[in-house]
Amino acid sequence: MILQRLKEETRVQHEEVEAAVDVMNQMFDLADYKRLLEKFWSFYAQYEPKLPLDELRNSDFDYSNRVKLPLLEADAKVLGLERSSNEIELPDLSSPAKALGSLYVIEGSTLGGQVISRHLKQHLGLTAENGGAFYAGYGQETGSMWKAFGESLTKFAGAGNADDEIVDAAKETFACITKWVGRKTNTAAISS
Ligand code: HEM
């Protein structure tokens, strides 16, 4: 129920973020890829430390085996990326309901990540070992990781009355990511 609501109520926002990312474009080259990854690296470097991991664990959801920052750091090292030090507008993650709603977007993006990963391998020769680790993500485990997340979220939502809070957090997360990824310039940067 909650998953269906999230999918329907964020459908347009998914289209918007897809357009902002624009990675499936035939003209998308390695320089574009590096710029995009710098965006995501900068985002996750500020986002993941703000997740209330202990509260999530108390709500029966463990994010610790899902962290994306190490993958981005590995790619950054291989590709020599620079991370933006600009303060990024982040969604409110101050309750388990908000954090889980936000993580719907983060975990859901691993599904599209598989499509993107295949495209990057085909067009730019990128694999998990040479700069494509973030998009390779959970690899063959992607389906089962998504299913497990969906079960945790459904259980959490079923036990409470926080569906609106969950959906609002997902919308806010899509909005923050689209705004940040779509923004053209980065000033001050931190080297990898
Ligand atoms: C060009 C970039 C992208 C492509 C091609 C893409 C494609 C896809 C595909 C094929 C799915 C699976 C649909 C299904 O199995 O039902 C999916 C799901 C999803 N993607 Fe994306 N995606 C992209 C970018 C993103 C980004 C950047 C985010 C968020 C940061 C995102 C969030 C989601 C979410 C939350 C879902 C789960 C939808 C659901 O079933 O409820 N996607 N995407």
Domain residue limits at 147:
2-191
Residues with CB under 6 Å of ligand 1 are 3, 6-7, 14, 17-18, 21, 23-24, 104-105, 108-109, 111-112, 115-116, 177
User: Average pLDDT of the chain?
Assistant: 95
Ramachandran assignment for 163, one of left (phi > 0), alpha (psi -120 to 50 degrees), beta (any other): alpha
Question: Do the Cβ atoms of 166 and 102 come closer than 8 Å?
Answer: no
At 190, the pLDDT band (50, 70, 90 cuts) reads: low
Q: What pLDDT, in 10s, does the model give residues 18-76?
A: 999 999 988 999 999 999 999 999 999 999 999 999 999 999 999 999 999 999 999 99
Question: Which pLDDT value is given to residue 165?
Answer: 98
Burial bucket for residue 3 (CB in 10 Å: 0-12, 13-18, 19+): middle
- Nearest CA among 85, 51, 88, 81 for reference residue 66: 51
pLDDT confidence of residue 26? 86
| Distance of alpha carbon 18 from alpha carbon 85, whole angstroms | 24
Q: What is the pLDDT of residue 186?
A: 46
| Secondary structure letter of residue 48 according to DSSP | G
Selection from 189, 182, 192 nearest residue 89 by Cα:
182
**Is the model more confident about 187 or about 11?**
11
Q: How many CA atoms lie within 13 A of 10 on its CB side?
A: 28
pLDDT band at residue 144 under the 50/70/90 scheme: very high
How many CA atoms are closer than 13 Å to the CA of 25, on its beta-carbon side?
12
Query: Which amino acid residue places its CA nearest to atom 25 of ligand 1?
Result: 109
Is pLDDT at 115 greater than 80 in this prediction? yes
Of 185 and 136, more confident: 136
Q: With 90 as the cut, is the pLDDT of residue 139 above it?
A: yes
Q: Which residues pair with 83 in a beta bridge?
A: 190
Q: How far is the CA of 40 from the centre of ligand 1 (A)?
A: 15
pLDDT above 80 (res 191): no
Global pTM reads 0.95
CATH number at residue 145: 1.20.910.10
Instruction: Decide: helix, strand or coil at residue 126.
Output: coil
Q: Which of 101, 100, 96, 145 is nearest to 10 (CA)?
A: 101
Report the domain count for the chain.
1
Selection from 13, 11, 8, 9 nearest residue 178 by Cα: 13
The rounded Å distance from CA 111 to ligand 1 centre is 6
Q: Which amino acid is at 114?
A: Q
Probe target for ligand 1 pocket from 18, 88, 100, 134, with the most ligand atoms within 8 Å of CB: 18
The phi and psi torsions of 81 (rounded to 5 degrees) equal -85, 165
